[in-house]
């Protein structure tokens, strides 16, 4: 049982790190494409239409994958003033 939990923790770590690498890669590619589009539009007078579509879809994927990373780090947004009004027992269950 202990070995199984260790394997699950290792799998969780590998998935989290690979997800972070994927998000970083998507972000870098998106920023590069948008920069190339601005350069192409203002300096060359040409901007491909597929760059805008790619940036929109990658932004959606960045949002979804970023939610996963924030949830794992417990860095997601929360409304604290509601939780602090609860009694300590319910507050511990809520968190």
| End-to-end Cα separation, the chain, in angstroms | 27
Helices and strands counted in the chain (H then E): 4, 0
What is the average pLDDT score of the chain?
Answer: 88
Q: What is the mean pLDDT of residues 82-94?
A: 79
User: How many percent of the chain have pLDDT more than 90?
Assistant: 53
pLDDT band, residue 88 (cuts 50/70/90): confident
Identify the pLDDT of residue 80: 74
Phi, psi dihedrals of residue 39, rounded to the nearest 5°: -60, -45
At 95, the pLDDT band (50, 70, 90 cuts) reads: low
Residue 27 and residue 66: Cα distance in Å, rounded?
11
Asked whether the whole model's pTM tops 0.95, one would answer: no
């Amino acid at each position: 049982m202990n070995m199984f939990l260790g394997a699950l923790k290792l799998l969780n770590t590998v998935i989290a790190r690979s997800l972070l690498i994927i998000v970083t890669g998507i972000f870098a590619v998106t920023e590069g494409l948008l920069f190339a589009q601005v350069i192409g539009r203002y300096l060359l007078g040409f901007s491909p239409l597929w760059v805008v579509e790619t940036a929109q879809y990658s932004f959606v994927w960045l949002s979804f994958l970023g939610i996963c990373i924030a949830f794992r780090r417990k860095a997601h947004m929360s409304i604290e003033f509601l939780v602090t009004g609860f009694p300590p027992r319910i507050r511990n269950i809520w968190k």
